[in-house]
Structure formats: structure tokens, C-alpha cells
A and B are shown apart, each in its own frame.
Chain A
Amino acid sequence: MPDSKQISLVRMQAGQSGKVVEIQGGHGMVNRLSALGIRPGKRITKVGSMLMRGPVTIQVDRAQVAIGFGMASRIIVEMG
């Protein structure tokens, strides 16, 4: 069985899902994300991302959320 690996949202492929394990940001960023339902322990699916460091769109529960590239690169997801 392959080890579960942890990567940032921007490195996930469209269609892959995983569990958020860490948000590497300050209080403000953690709060804004958690208000949108994105917090450690949450299962998310990547819908897609724009070229040239564009925003990443993910599915969390019944909602889609678009997240700027910089923020997305600091959201760490455990795959599998």
C-alpha cells in the first residue's frame, strides 16, 4: 500500500481529493478559510485551476470555493 502523501492544493491534479491537514497561514487567513468551511480535517476535491498561478477551485461539501494561488499553495492536503 502506498504511503499517504501530503502536498499543497496547487500541486493536486484536477479531480483528486484529499483531506486538509494544515493551513500554513496567519490567524486572518485561517479564519477566512474556515468561515468558508475549509479547515483541517475537511475532505475536499480539486475542481481545477487557472494557468499562470491562477486561482484554484475546490469542492468542499456542497459548495465550490475559488482560492488565490498564494493561499492555495499554503493549504496542505493529505492525498488518498
Chain B
Amino acid sequence: MACHRVGNRKNKSSGIKKVLLVGNPNVGKSVLFSRLTGVKVIASNYPGTTVSYTHGAMKLGEGEVEVIDVPGTYTLEPTCEAEQIALNMLEDGDLVINVVNATNLERNLYLTLQLLERDIPVIVALNMWDDTKHRGIDIDLEKLRELLRVPVIPTVAVTGQGIKELVESIPQATSPHLPAQSHDERWAVIGRITDQVQRITHRHHTWAEHLEDASVKPLTGGLIAMVVLAAAFWVVRFIGEGLIGYVLDPFFNEVWAPLLLRLSSLLGGSGFLHEIIVGRLTNGEINFVESFGLLSSGLYVPLAMVLPYIISFYLVLGLLEDVGYLPRLGVLVDTVMHRFGLHGYAIIPGLLGFGCNVPAILATRILESRRERFIAATLISIAVPCAALQAMIFGLVGARGGQYVAIIYGTLFVVWVVLGFILNHTVRGFSPELLIEIPPYRLPPWRAVLQKLWMRSYGFLREAVPIILVAILVINILYFWGVFEVITNFTAPVVTSLLGLPKEAVTALVIGFLRKDVALGMLAPLGLTSGQLVVGSVVLAMFFPCVATFVVLIRELGVVNMLKAAGIMISVALVTGGLLNLVL
């Protein structure tokens, strides 16, 4: 047969350079990817965790092959950006590992059949194999192999079961070159396959399933959401404050401060170098928030003020992600989100934004239309403060009283609602309806949760700390050269009259482009009233995205839409700041 010749040519493992992991959303491709390559990636329990591709290398025989973790897709006829990316990547792969959710064979086989129609060798990884047993599903593997005419390997990616067999079967992969079929024909074929290979025994609801059902009903769902969100907030505060109060503050005050003071006297107690390295002393003591030296504020801000909240936030977010709660929250808020031109699933990028706006804006790819993506990205950049900025708000504004923190969050919430409403009525295009698969609740494996937490915290340290140090260096040098003087005098009318802030606050807004946490820290030594601090925090949060977010916005929205978004940000920030200034 002609097709076999083609298959044999591609058969040799030496000819394989690129292996693609393709499958429905939330079947465990990213976990499998980590198993194959050792490259750690963010995996969660909701469809659409992976919106761009990740690649790594894997040993195969003598050589190495590239493995690509493709965003999940239900079909090769794309319905959103992430699925389009998946389709494009299929063009230049040499082999597909089709990851299939064994507990939902029928639906997953649709993509499998589409793959088998293409000219590319396929292996099927029947993942979540362990789940089939307690879900009362029995699959005849031999029969399935015979019908699909490709290797079918049962796997449990989270434990590593079947991974070795999967890799060993790569050389046997061929493309059966099924004839192209219509939808109905494919479903008919799938029906015949599942009838022959799958037996399902009925069993009663488990408690997890009762909880699943309760989460998407109005009354119980609302109650569950309130409990979950309140608990999440409480745990984030508890862990964050605990780390600061019992670990980091004692360390900086009792160990680091004496060392710095000794260094300070070595440097002569003042001067340009002293300002840069140790910072300005307050009454001969180091004030870690206000001194603005590289070794004082430069370390204290990221490590003792921000990092604790990064850790606590991402621990809680990671748990919610892996349990599978977030899509249910999406269902719950769907009706409300439609008022803002979004659907419920936009809550996921929104929540990610409370950690960092960069992954949040990338995650808007799970939304189907350009209009939705523009609205979501704009709203997130304006009204969702990242964990670093929030940590500083808790630290600095929280010291003046909880009510001021509440005013900041309340204002940002109102801005989200009002701006969302306006955008919904002015941005052209359409917003499609919600249509999502809801994953089952799972008990998250602790190792996976901690590993994800480590990746995100380490990512913060690696990416943020250098920028914070550079920002502080730049601030000191610009002060020294008097550059800020020029900027502040130039913009003083707006800032002082409209926002009621001292003109020095402008420098903070400028530095906000580098790092918002450092920028808020710059407001600390200005002796602001609590009201001014609130105005400053709100304007800083909304005014303009930080440079990392800015770059991602340009990439995701394009220059023109980014400019539109930026115009909205600046005007909304000035209006809101002005109004707050009048009220407070």
C-alpha cells in the first residue's frame, strides 16, 4: 500500500526532529511535556492553561528531538487564537503524540481522527488512565490499537506511568492516512469505535461530583464562591503577613541593618556612592522603605515587601487552578461579565492579573474575539493591580489604616465596572457566548503545587529583582543630575492642581513604567497625607502599564490598539485621580 511506504520513510527515529504534543484542552499535555523533557511548565486544571507553545528537548535513541507542547484544541478547525496557534504548528512537526483523556474517549477521538487523516505519524497517549478504573470505564486497548492502526499507550502523566513505553513506541509510529471525512462520517466512525472498545458501568455520584454540581447552581454556587474567595483572601494575607512579620522583617532589622550601618561608616556616612549603595539615612538609622539605596530598599522592597505576597498569592492561585475551581467561577460570573462585553471565562485572565499582568494578558488568548481580547487586556491593565503593587499598597497604605486600602480597591472595582460598561457599548465587533468544558475537581498533587509555586516565585526573583535594582540606580543617578527636576516642573500643573499631589510625585509615576512597586515606594518619603497616598496609589495602578506589560500589550493587541488602550488608561487615570482628589 502506498501509504505504508510513506509511513516507513517517516518511521526511522533518526528522521524525527520535532515531536508535537497535541490534544484536547486540559488532558495533561503540559504535565506529559514536563515528564518527557524535564522542562518545567505551568500546568493547571482548566482548559486553556497553555496559550502559546513551549518547547524542550528529549532523548530519543542516540540523538535528541525537540518536543513542543501545543495549546489544547478540540478540532483542527480553529475557533480561537490558541487553537489557530495549534493548527499552524502542526505544519512543521514530524510526529504527533496525541494526548487523549481516557475518561472521555468519544469526544477526544474526534481530534484523533482528524490527525490520522493528515500525513504525519501519530502515537496516542491514553492519559489519565488511572481515572478510568474508579470512573467505571473499561477500555480494550488491543482493539483500539487495531482500529486506529497506530500505537496506543496508556499513561498517567502526573505519576510518570507509561512514559517509558510511550517514548519506546515512537519508532513504530506511522500515519494510517485515513481518507478525509465529513463531521458526520467521523462521528459515525467514532461511534463504532467506542461501541467496540469501551464498556461503562454505572456508578453513583461521589462527594466530589456533588460538590461539582453544587458549584454551578445559583444559590449553592454563590455561597461556595463567597467562601472560596474569602478564604483565598484570608490565606493570602495570613501567609504574606506571617512571612513578613516573623521571617523577613526580623532578618532585615536585626541582621541586615547592622551590617549595612557598618558599611555605611566605611563609606563615610554620606556622598554619591553612599547614596547609591546604602541610601539616605534617617537620623543615623536605615529606613528600608525610604532610604533608596541598592542594598537597603533595593533588597528590602522585592524580598521583604513583595516576595512574601508573591508566595502567598501564587500558592492560593495554584491551588484554585489545580483543584479546577476557576472555570466554575467563570460560569458564576458570566451574566455580570457580559455587561462588560466579556464572558465568564475572562475571570481567569482577570485573576491571573492580580499576580502579574503579563501572563494575564497572554491568557486573554482563551477569549474568542478580538473585541473581547481588547476589552479584557485594557481592563486588566487599568483596574487589576499586580501582586508586587498590591504588596506595597498593603505595606505602605495599610499602615495608615485598612479603610484606605479599601478605598483603593473599591475605586479600582468601580473603574472596572464603569469602564467595562462603556467599552462594551463603544468597542465594535461582537462578543461570543460562553462555551467551556468544566474539568472535574481533583485533589492537587502537592509536589505539583509546590513546583508551580517555586517556578512563579523564582520567576519573580529572576525577572523583577534586576529591574528593581536598575530602577533604583537610575533613580539615584537621575536625581543626582537633576533630570527629575525638569520633568517635575514640566508636569507640575497637572499633578499638583488636578491630582493634588506634590510635584515630586511625578518621578514616581515615571518610574512606574519600570516597576510599580518601586514607584509606590518613592511616594513613601514625600510625607503625603493618607488621602494623597490613596490618590497616588490609584493613579499609579491605572496610569500606564509597566514596561513588561507594555511589551506584551503591543505584541498581543498591535500598535494601534495598544495606543488606544494607552489613551484610555491615561485619561481614565487622570479623571479618577482628579475625582478622588476632590472627594478625599
Contact = CB atoms under 8 A, between A and B. Distances in A.
Give the residue among A33, A61, A64, A66 with the most B Cβ atoms within 10 A.
A66
A37 B436 contact: no
A63 B131 CA distance: 13
B79 A35 contact: yes
A39 B187 contact: yes
A1 interface: no
B216 A36 contact: no
A35 B187 CA distance: 10
B106 A55 contact: no
Contacts of B216: 47-48, 50, 57, 64, 66
B104 A68 contact: no
Contacts of B331: 50, 54-55, 57, 66
B330 interface: yes
- Chain A interface, >50% SS class: mixed
Given A50-B331, A68-B343, A68-B435, A34 B218 contact: no
Interface string A2-27: 00000000000010000000000000
Contacts of A55: 331, 334-335, 344, 433-434
Interface string B136-176: 01000000000000000000000000000000000000000
A29 to B, nearest CB: 9
Interface in B2-31: none
A52 B344 CA distance: 14
Contact of B438 (A37, A49, A64, A71): A64
A32 B79 contact: yes
Interface in A37-80: 37, 39, 47-55, 57, 60-71
Considering residues A34, A49, A52, A62, which has the most beta carbons from chain B within 10 angstroms of its beta carbon? A62
A32 B25 CA distance: 14
B435 A32 contact: yes
Contact of B212 (A33, A64, A71): A64
Given A55-B334, A61-B104, A62-B135, A31 B75 contact: yes
B110 A35 contact: yes
B436 A65 contact: yes
B433 A31 contact: no
A67 to B, nearest CB: 6
A31 B335 contact: no
Interface residues of A, number: 32
Contacts of A28: 79
Interface in B92-122: 103-104, 106-107, 110
A39 B436 CA distance: 15
A28 to B, nearest CB: 7
Interface in B67-84: 74-75, 77, 79
B64 interface: no
B436 A48 contact: no
B353 interface: no
Given A33-B435, A47-B216, A67-B435, A54 B334 contact: yes
Nearest to A71: B433
Given A31-B75, A53-B335, A63 B107 contact: yes
B438 A61 contact: no
B514 to A, nearest CB: 40
Contact of B104 (A49, A57, A62): A62
A27 B87 CA distance: 19
Nearest to A70: B433
Interface in B331-355: 331-332, 334-335, 343-344
A4 B21 CA distance: 44
22 contacts: A28-B79, A32-B79, A34-B110, A35-B75, A37-B104, A37-B106, A37-B110, A39-B187, A49-B217, A50-B218, A50-B334, A52-B335, A57-B331, A62-B104, A62-B137, A63-B104, A64-B438, A65-B435, A66-B327, A66-B436, A68-B432, A68-B433
Lowest 8 A-B CB distances belong to which pairs?
A68-B433, A35-B74, A37-B107, A48-B217, A64-B438, A68-B434, A35-B75, A57-B216
